[in-house]
């Protein structure tokens, strides 16, 4: 199913008020994705400013680097998956 057909189905789904507001996938996207992300982006600078001058609690060692490499590997795999799913170009390389 293409993304255009999903939006076409979205226009015909659920109660609406003209073209300005509906309780469908676009409403769900705004309420459950965009609004929480906006709150997170607004709070993040305050959090960074608050913890910027505190002393470090943990030392950087082997465990830190293993977690960093693992998280980077996972991020690369998820990026590759997203590019393959939503792009017309297919990536054929492998990380493993």
- Same domain? 47 vs 9: yes
**How many domains does the structure of the chain reveal?**
2
Q: Percent of the chain, pLDDT > 90? A: 23
- Confirm if 59 and 40 have CB atoms less than 8 A apart: no
- Same domain? 47 vs 4: yes
Q: What is the mean pLDDT of residues 15-21?
A: 58
In whole angstroms, how far apart are CA 45 and each of 3, 10, 32, 35, 48?
34, 36, 22, 17, 5
pLDDT digits (tens, 9 = 90+) for 21-65: 556 666 777 777 778 888 999 999 999 898 888 887 878 899 999
Confidence of residue 73 (pLDDT cuts 50, 70, 90): very high
Residue 17: what are its φ and ψ, rounded to 5°? -125, 85
Look up the pTM and report it.
0.39
Residues 6+ apart with CB under 8 A from 23: 14, 15, 16
Residue range of the domain that includes 46: 1-54
- Same domain? 50 vs 78: no
pLDDT score, position 17: 58
- Same domain? 2 vs 48: yes
């Amino acid at each position: 199913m293409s993304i255009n057909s999903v939006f076409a189905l979205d226009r015909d789904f659920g109660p609406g008020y003209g073209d300005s507001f509906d309780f469908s996938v676009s409403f769900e996207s705004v309420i459950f994705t965009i609004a929480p992300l906006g709150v997170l982006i607004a709070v993040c600078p305050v959090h960074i400013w608050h913890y910027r001058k505190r002393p470090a609690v943990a030392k950087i060692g082997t465990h830190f680097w293993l977690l960093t490499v693992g998280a980077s590997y996972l991020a690369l795999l998820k990026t590759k998956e997203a590019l393959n799913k939503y792009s017309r170009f297919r990536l054929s390389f492998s990380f493993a």
